[in-house]
Copies of this chain bind each other. A is one copy, B any other.
Amino acid sequence: MNYPKGIRIKNNKSINYANRGMTLENDINQTNEYYKEIEKAIIYKRPTPIQVTKVHYPSQGKVIIKEAYFLQPSTLDYCGIYNGKYIDFDVKETTSKTSFPIKNIHPHQLKHIEQIIRHKGIAFLIIRFTKLNETYLLFAKELIEYINKTDKASIPYNYIKDKGHIVEIKYSPRLDYLKIIEEKLEE
């Protein structure tokens, strides 16, 4: 599929529901629903930005968008509030077993992550190595530290395993990433 992840196209029969509930994004969405229900946190998925170029007014008060384009996001996919604190993160999957390609994070997103650090927000990536079936939370500080000191095109698996925090997959919530945030805040 060529449209950005997370965009739902109504009536598109080619969507494959076989993997529903198995992607990292679905696991995070389910977890965020859970957090909302138990009133632990409110985490939003930011919509993919869209530039509208043509609209049509079929009748009074009605608007149909007739031409529009997906734009490159300059922020991360998720943001929200946990106990008054600002949270901002993205989820990334890789099929590599040995490293995480830095090109998966756009330069605008890196700039955004650096801004959130400066403004004392809680920013991180949730990275899944799909072939290892392992999911890690890597805080922004450790992410930026590695990227700033390396000339390599990727972050080694061992760095993420060492500096990151493993997130176990459970039934509900699927990925209890806030547990790691809580431990970090208690330090």
Contact = CB atoms under 8 A, between A and B. Distances in A.
A54 B86 CA distance: 35
Given A11-B53, A86-B86, A118 B68 contact: no
Contacts of A67: 64-66
A165 to B, nearest CB: 20
A41 B3 contact: no
**Oligomer copy total:** 2
Contact of A65 (B8, B39, B65): B65
B83 A84 contact: no
A119 B83 contact: yes
A120 B39 CA distance: 12
Interface residues of A, number: 48
Interface stretch (A43-51, A129-137, A138-146, A155-163): A43-51
B53 A63 contact: no
A9 B115 CA distance: 29
29 contacts: A2-B62, A3-B52, A8-B51, A8-B52, A9-B52, A9-B54, A41-B119, A42-B115, A44-B75, A47-B47, A50-B65, A63-B70, A64-B67, A64-B68, A64-B69, A65-B67, A65-B68, A65-B69, A65-B70, A66-B66, A66-B67, A68-B68, A79-B79, A81-B86, A82-B119, A84-B85, A85-B85, A85-B86, A86-B86
Complex A-B, nearest 8 residue pairs according to Cβ-Cβ distance, in ascending order: A84-B120, A65-B68, A81-B86, A86-B86, A81-B121, A81-B119, A10-B53, A3-B63
